Amino acid sequence: MGVFLSKWRSKWKFSPIIRLFWVVSSLVIGSEFAKADVILAPHRAVYRLNLIENANHGIWESVVGQMVYELTGSPCEGYQQQFRQMIILSNSEGGRKVIDDFSSLNETSDGKKLDFFSKNIGKTDRIETISGQALRSDDGILVQYTSPRHSELHLPQQTSFPIAYTKALITTALAGQTSLNLLQFDDTDPDAANQRTFAIIGAEKLENADAELDLVHKTFGKQRRWPVTIGFGYDGQLSSDYSIFQELFENGVAINLILDLNDFKLSGHLQTIIPLDQKKCN
């Protein structure tokens, strides 16, 4: 799922799954990552979400849902990423709540522009949206929000956008390195600056009996993959509020997800995956 990379939101604001999916130093400029020799596979993937653990033992006893991730585009024209997630929370007393998230972004191949839009329904029974664009220049990155209000945010030039971050993470794994510490911006919070992301990359996974692995290999052929855990934080500090585990393939597909929020820990298992057309670069 490309880095989901994802976007499960801390405090259940917006879901951070899209950031799941991103070589070595925060001093490397994000646009350089966009040039990395990593080819992401356009695809549509559907994941089943289930509760592993309810950490706070609150009123919700069951959490189930579905997540759909879609990546289109090419290295020459840039990539478009869409994400839809619906979660149903329920309990034995008949209580029920639905959280519905949608997010989309368009990132240019040179890493200089990011258009973004996010919509959330369910947390407060209102529709909340975030939209705008981020432009990279020699002086830094200017983020211009059009909703929930018109505002601007200035970020360091080395901040990475989501698709470039995904490529950087794969590049790091292919190089045999075990960590990636970067600033990243993915549109999710107009009240906060870019996030510090710290990824731990495990040893390359060998073949084993796994239905999700078989599904990816049957769709794209044999692919290398690595276990990756990503933590998120602001102001240079990593937060324990949430982290994401995934097995990440060299083409950007992800399986065997574990979404560790402060309140809940969910599993995400690949159910179906469909390859999408990729335009050839001239």
pLDDT one-digit tens code per residue, 245-254: 999 999 999 9
Distance from C-alpha of 182 to C-alpha of 169, rounded to nearest angstrom: 10
Domain annotation covers residue 127: yes
pLDDT tens-digit map of 195-217: 678 899 999 998 777 899 999 99
The per-residue pLDDT of the chain, averaged, comes to 81
**Given pLDDT bands bounded at 50, 70 and 90, which one contains residue 126?**
confident
Q: Is residue 194 part of a domain?
A: yes
User: Is residue 224 a contact partner of residue 171, using CB atoms and an 8 Å limit?
Assistant: no
Q: What is the pLDDT of residue 128?
A: 85
Domain-located, residue 96: yes
Each residue of 217-248: pLDDT tens digit?
Answer: 999 999 999 999 998 776 555 555 678 899 99
Short-list 104, 118, 159, 119, CA closest to 135: 159
In this predicted structure, the answer to whether residue 274 has a pLDDT above a threshold of 70 is yes
**What pLDDT score was predicted for residue 9?**
42
Q: Is 221 exposed, middle or buried (0-12, 13-18, 19+ CB in 10 A)?
A: exposed
Which whole-number Å values give the CA distances from 249 to 133, 146, 168, 223, in the listed order?
29, 35, 13, 6
- Of the two residues 271 and 2, the one the predictor is more confident about is 271
Name the residue among 140, 137, 146, 141 with its Cα closest to residue 117.
146
Q: Is residue 77 part of a domain?
A: yes
pLDDT of residue 206: 84
pLDDT (mean) for 14-26: 34
Spatial separation of the C-alpha atoms in residues 108 and 77, rounded to whole Å:
7
Q: What is the pLDDT of residues 33-48, one digit of tens each?
A: 444 578 999 999 999 9
* Owner of token pair 């966009």: 34
pTM of the model: 0.84
Half-sphere exposure of 220 (CA within 13 A, CB side): 26
User: Could you give the percent of the chain with pLDDT greater than 70?
Assistant: 78
Question: Residue 70: its pLDDT value, please?
Answer: 97
Is there a domain that residue 281 lies in? no
| pLDDT beyond 50 at 26 | no
Question: Is residue 136 within 8 Å of 30, Cβ to Cβ?
Answer: yes
Q: How many domains does the chain have?
A: 1
* Cis peptide leading into residue 156 (ω within 30°): no
Chain length of the chain: 282
For residue 282, being part of any structural domain is answered with no
Decide if pLDDT at 277 tops 80: yes
Residue 89 has pLDDT above 90, yes or no: no
Decide if pLDDT at 6 tops 70: no
pLDDT of res. 60: 74
At a CB cut-off of 8 Å and minimum separation 6, what does 125 contact?
none
Question: Which range (53-62, 135-144, 248-257) has the least confidence?
Answer: 53-62
Segment 27-37 shows an average pLDDT of: 44
List the domain range (segments joined by +) for residue 137: 3-275
pLDDT at 93 over 80: yes
Q: Residue 230 domain-assigned?
A: yes
- The candidate with the shortest Cα–Cα distance to 5, out of 141, 121, 105, 132, is 105
Contacts of 33 (CB under 8 A, 6+ apart): 22, 23, 111, 160, 164, 165, 167, 168, 171
- Would the pLDDT of 152 be above 50? yes
Evaluate whether 266 touches 50 at the Cβ level (below 8 Å).
yes
Dist. CA 178–CA 201, nearest whole Å:
5
Q: Which of 13-17, 126-130, 256-260 has the highest mean pLDDT?
A: 256-260
Collect all residues with Cβ–Cβ distance below 8 Å to 53 and sequence separation of at least 6: 264, 265
pLDDT at residue number 95: 84
Rounded Cα–Cα distance for residues 115 and 101 (Å): 17
Where are the alpha helices (H) located in the chain, listed in sequence order?
30-33, 162-174, 211-220
